[in-house]
């Protein structure tokens, strides 16, 4: 009896291990969930001032240097890219990062290796260290690498480190300072991307009424930047547009980033009030918005839309709701990684946060599903005006 039980157990366990070895997709969805939910569930109220300042001054050197970019000379720089759990195939940050490193290999001639942590997330620091042993640049995909990158970065001062979606500022220091001269944070000008999806919403709205759902209010104005950009974009194309804005929770209650049920209630109320397109900057809560769009559309027979955030949610959300996702505000992880590597080669890498904005395509909107193809011309024109400075996108609503 005893022995049989153990034999059975052994077989079950082996199968489970094999399954977990093969079934990466599932892990990506379950374990890595908080990561695409990256409407920054970082609770630090302080990052705001820095991050808001960063977008404006930082990318400028990039823009000025852009013309002389095409020099596909080979370098002997090598990069160690460390994905978050699940690695390639998540249709989100990891895949985007892979695209960025491949572009860097093709255009800048760098060599690279990839690694991803154990499914339990136990060896991020080890991987960064191993990558640092073998490479000139080490990039961690996702803010979960912040603590480990700061520690490993301090041990390897000659290696450059980049962390996607984290400012890499030490808020424990006084004054607040980058973790180290060799450590960069790859962040995004979310307000500019939100501007474009706001414009798309206003152009597509039949009712003249649209909505915004923020995850958590008062996280140092972090999510308010999404709202400010969205509102400005919508009003630019339609000054009479009516915008309903709401937040799920207020800091220090961080539930709002992972409360699909509450997001769904808010979204349904907005649709009832006549809004036909709702944008969310609420991380994991977005699933509730998509569900609400589906249910409202089916209940009333007239189609309402949702707009996704961070990654192309047409691909990351449930297949059943993707036809209700008009577009998504994209953080272009691929661009940030490419530009960061380039800045190291050019010797212009800045410690601390660098915000990648529209001028380098660091943010943008997705076209999956083809729902915004008819207004692509208008959106591109607006984008050009932002890049040229004709339109200044506000960061506060």
Residue 332: half-sphere exposure toward Cβ, Cα within 13 Å: 23
Name which position in 97, 110, 144, 232 contacts another protein (CB under 8 A): 144
Name which position in 106, 154, 299, 392 contacts another protein (CB under 8 A): 154
Q: Return phi, psi of residue 395, to 5°.
A: -110, -5
Distance (Å, rounded) from C-alpha 200 to C-alpha 370?
Answer: 13
Strand partners, 331: 363
Sheet holding 277-281, edge to edge: 242-250, 209-217, 277-281, 305-310, 325-331, 363-365
x/- site string to another protein, residues 34 to 63, per CB under 8 A? x------xxxxxxx----------------
Name which position in 49, 89, 121, 208 contacts another protein (CB under 8 A): 121
CA nearest 137: which of 83, 74, 82, 65?
82
Range in contact with another protein (rule: CB under 8 A) among 63-71, 131-139, 221-229, 370-378: 131-139
Q: Which of residues 121 and 394 has its CB atom nearest to another protein in the complex?
A: 121
According to the binding rule CB under 8 A, does residue 250 interact with another protein?
Answer: no
Name which position in 29, 102, 107, 126 contacts another protein (CB under 8 A): 126
Sheet holding 137-140, edge to edge: 111-115, 78-82, 137-140, 160-164, 183-188, 352-356
Q: How many residues contact another protein, by CB under 8 A?
A: 64
Least gap, CB of 29 to another protein (angstroms): 15
Name which position in 55, 59, 119, 397 contacts another protein (CB under 8 A): 119
Residue 163: half-sphere exposure toward Cβ, Cα within 13 Å: 29
CA nearest 223: which of 186, 259, 249?
249
**Given the rule CB under 8 A, which residues bind another protein?**
2-3, 5-7, 9-11, 13-18, 20-22, 24, 31, 34, 41-47, 80, 87, 113-116, 118-123, 126-127, 129-131, 133-134, 143-144, 146-147, 150-152, 154-155, 166, 170-172, 251-255
């Amino acid at each position: 009896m005893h022995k049989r039980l153990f034999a059975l157990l052994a077989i079950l366990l082996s199968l489970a291990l094999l399954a977990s070895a093969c079934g990466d997709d599932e892990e990506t969805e379950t374990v890595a969930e908080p990561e695409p939910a990256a409407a920054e569930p970082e609770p630090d109220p302080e990052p705001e001032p820095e991050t808001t300042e960063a977008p404006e001054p930082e990318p400028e050197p990039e823009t000025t240097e852009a013309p002389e970019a095409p020099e596909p000379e080979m370098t002997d720089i090598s990069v160690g890219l460390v994905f978050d759990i699940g690695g390639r195939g998540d249709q989100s940050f990891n895949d985007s990062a892979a695209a960025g490193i491949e572009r860097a290999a093709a255009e800048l001639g760098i060599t690279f290796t990839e690694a991803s942590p154990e499914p339990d997330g136990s060896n991020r620091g080890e991987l960064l260290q191993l990558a640092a042993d073998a490479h000139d640049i080490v990039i961690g995909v996702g803010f979960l690498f912040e603590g480990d990158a700061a520690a490993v970065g301090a041990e390897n001062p000659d290696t450059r480190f980049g962390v996607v979606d984290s400012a890499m500022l030490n808020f424990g220091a006084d004054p607040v300072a980058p973790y180290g001269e060799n450590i960069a944070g790859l962040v995004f000008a979310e307000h500019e991307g939100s501007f474009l999806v706001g414009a798309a919403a206003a152009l597509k709205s039949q009712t003249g009424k649209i909505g915004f759902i923020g995850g958590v209010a008062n996280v140092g104005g972090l999510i308010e930047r999404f709202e400010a950009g969205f509102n400005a974009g919508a009003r630019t194309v339609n000054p009479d547009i009516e915008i309903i804005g709401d937040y799920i929770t207020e800091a220090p209650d961080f539930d709002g980033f992972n409360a699909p049920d509450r997001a769904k209630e808010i979204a349904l109320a907005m649709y009832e009030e006549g809004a036909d397109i709702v944008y969310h900057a609420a991380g994991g809560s977005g699933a509730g918005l998509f569900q609400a769009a589906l249910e409202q559309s089916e209940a009333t027979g007239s189609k309402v839309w949702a707009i996704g955030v961070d990654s192309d949610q047409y691909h990351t959300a449930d297949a059943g709701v993707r036809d209700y996702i008009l577009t998504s505000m994209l953080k272009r992880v691929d661009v940030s990684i490419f530009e960061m590597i380039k800045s190291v080669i050019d010797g212009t890498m800045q410690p601390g946060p660098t915000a990648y904005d529209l001028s380098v395509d660091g943010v943008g909107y997705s076209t999956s599903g083809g729902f915004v193809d008819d207004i692509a011309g208008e959106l591109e024109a607006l984008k050009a005006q932002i890049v040229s400075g004709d339109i200044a996108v506000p960061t506060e609503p």
